[in-house]
Amino acid sequence: SQARPDSTVFVELKKKYKKIVYKRRIPLPEKEAMEWVSGERHCSHDSQISEEIDYFFQYYQDLHPAVFLSYEREAYYSKDHSDFRVTFDEKILCRQEDLSLESEVYGTPILPEGSVLMEIKCSGGIPLWMVHVLSQEHIYKTSFSKYGTAYQTMIYPKLKQEVRLHA
């Protein structure tokens, strides 16, 4: 949903190492997060994570918002306190203009109409009951990146066109 200046948002670093995704994130009011990301101020949340994110900004000096991604998520968590959870994302939209989190939610869909992205998250093996459900429904593991798909859908075709125009 549309953020307000005082809405809590996350500034997050995400990396994949040996098939495991690691996230480092800080919750901040939207206004402060956007000012930090744009280099207008330092993070008020002084921590190891904020230092890692600051280092990232310094290392990749010309970072700036380039894509707005939004989606509606339904999340389910295990009752037995394990780290097993399942999320369903739909209405995944992207755009390259009007990147403020305070803007209306609109954009180009990156999945066909009616498609839903299911993601299973756990640090160990998937519970056996879920393996049976997935097998029964002929659902198999595949890689998918919302940002990567947005890039292929919107950004890459525009870059290709620009290269052709300047060639």
pLDDT at position 81:
67
Q: Which amino acid is at 151?
A: Y
The pLDDT assigned to 40 comes to 84
55 and 72 belong to one structural domain: no
The reply to whether 1 falls in a domain is no
Averaged pLDDT score across all residues of the chain: 88
CA 124 distance to own-chain centroid? 22
Q: Which of 59, 79, 95 is the last residue of a domain?
A: 59
Q: What is the pLDDT of residues 39-94, one digit of tens each?
A: 888 888 789 999 999 999 899 988 888 889 999 999 999 888 678 999 999 999 99
Same domain for 98 and 29: no
Domain count, the chain: 2
Quote the pLDDT of residue 26.
93
pLDDT value at 166 more than 80: no
What does pTM read for this prediction? 0.81
Tell whether 73 and 140 lie within a shared domain.
yes
Domain identity same for 18 and 42: yes
Residue 45 structural domain: 8-59
